[in-house]
């Protein structure tokens, strides 16, 4: 499996497909083209017999800053068939083991993608945030369902209403990550775990994951659709316009009128 998009690298060996955010100069922020590439990769990996496990990783200093705001404003998702929503559905329904190695900031979708991973390993420099409200928007990726399930309601409300970052040890405490390690070891730890999984019978892994998520996947897809409809609508509303204008103009947004 390969991709011509150098912002996303993919390497498949011994049953492990490693997908790497490779746009470090832009803090691994994700463009529409990158979303389309990622969606294609996950859709292909789901049925590729050469792929038994997928590992998603970034750089030792940054996992992903979330959406590339300039690209996002130029190419906003206008329907639920937009590349970002295709990717989210592909990840939510991915049948094989999915691991993530997360170092540095994981913003917005950089965090919400992790709720769909089976195993997550974090560098001790990891910082997770979901600042959708701060952009005049609502949660995505089924996070309005999954975050309260994992964090409990009050911690979820704090994370989603305030949008402030929480760090690796807090993520470990609530179960979002499996282990916290030095950043320089994070990718290697994820690869070591992936090798263990790749050596196991794929049929048993797939069936166990299916049973683990039995009844949850359909609820997540339904919530994703509801979130997506709200997200698309809110993008054109005054609060989001003010938030994005302030971001591009490097000033503090003023939401008093909204």
Residue at 106 is within a domain = yes
| pLDDT per residue rounded down to tens, the chain (258 residues) | 445 569 999 999 999 999 999 999 999 999 999 999 999 999 999 999 999 999 999 999 999 999 999 999 899 999 999 999 999 999 999 999 999 999 999 999 999 999 999 999 999 999 999 999 999 999 999 999 999 999 999 999 999 999 999 999 999 999 999 999 999 999 999 999 999 999 999 999 999 999 999 999 999 999 999 999 999 999 999 999 999 999 999 999 999 988
Token pair for residue 171?
A: 């993520």
Please say whether the beta carbons of 146 and 220 come within 8 A: yes
Residue at 251 is within a domain = no
Please enumerate in sequence order all residues whose Cβ is within 8 A of that of 161, keeping only pairs 6 or more positions apart, or say none. Answer: 133
Tell me, rounded to whole angstroms, the distance of Cα 31 from its chain centroid.
13
Using the structure block, give the residue that is written with the tokens 């011509």: 4
Split into its structural domains, the chain has a count of 1
Q: What is the CATH number of the domain that holds 56?
A: 3.90.226.10
Range of 161's domain? Answer: 8-182+202-208
In this structure, what DSSP letter does residue 158 have? I
Residues of the chain by 3-state class (helix, strand, coil), percent to 5:
50, 15, 35
Cα–Cα dist 85/80, whole Å: 6
pTM, two decimals, is 0.94
Map residue 9 onto helix, strand or coil. Answer: strand
């Amino acid at each position: 499996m390969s991709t011509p998009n150098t912002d996303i690298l993919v390497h498949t060996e011994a049953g492990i497909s490693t997908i790497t955010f490779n746009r470090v100069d832009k803090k691994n922020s994700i463009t529409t083209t990158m979303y389309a590439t990622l969606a294609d990769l996950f859709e292909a990996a789901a049925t590729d017999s050469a792929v038994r496990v997928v590992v998603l990783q970034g750089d030792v200093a940054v996992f992903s800053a979330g959406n590339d705001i300039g690209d996002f404003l130029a190419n906003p998702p206008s329907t639920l068939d937009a590349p970002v929503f295709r990717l989210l559905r592909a990840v939510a329904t991915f049948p094989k083991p999915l691991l993530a190695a997360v170092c540095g900031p994981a913003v917005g979708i950089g965090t919400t993608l992790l709720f769909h991973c089976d195993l997550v390993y974090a560098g001790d420099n990891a910082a997770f945030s979901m600042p959708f409200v701060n952009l005049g928007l609502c949660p995505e990726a089924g996070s309005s369902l999954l975050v309260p399930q994992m964090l409990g309601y009050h911690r979820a409300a704090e994370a989603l209403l305030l949008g402030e970052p929480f760090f690796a040890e807090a993520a470990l405490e609530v179960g979002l990550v499996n282990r916290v390690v030095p950043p320089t070891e994070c990718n290697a730890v994820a690869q070591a775990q992936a090798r263990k999984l790749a050596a196991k019978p794929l049929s048993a892994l797939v069936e166990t994951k299916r049973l683990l998520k039995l009844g949850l996947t359909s609820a997540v897809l339904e919530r994703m659709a509801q979130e997506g409809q709200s997200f698309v609508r809110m993008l054109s509303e005054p609060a989001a316009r003010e938030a994005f204008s302030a971001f591009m103009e490097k000033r503090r947004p003023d939401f008093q009128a909204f």
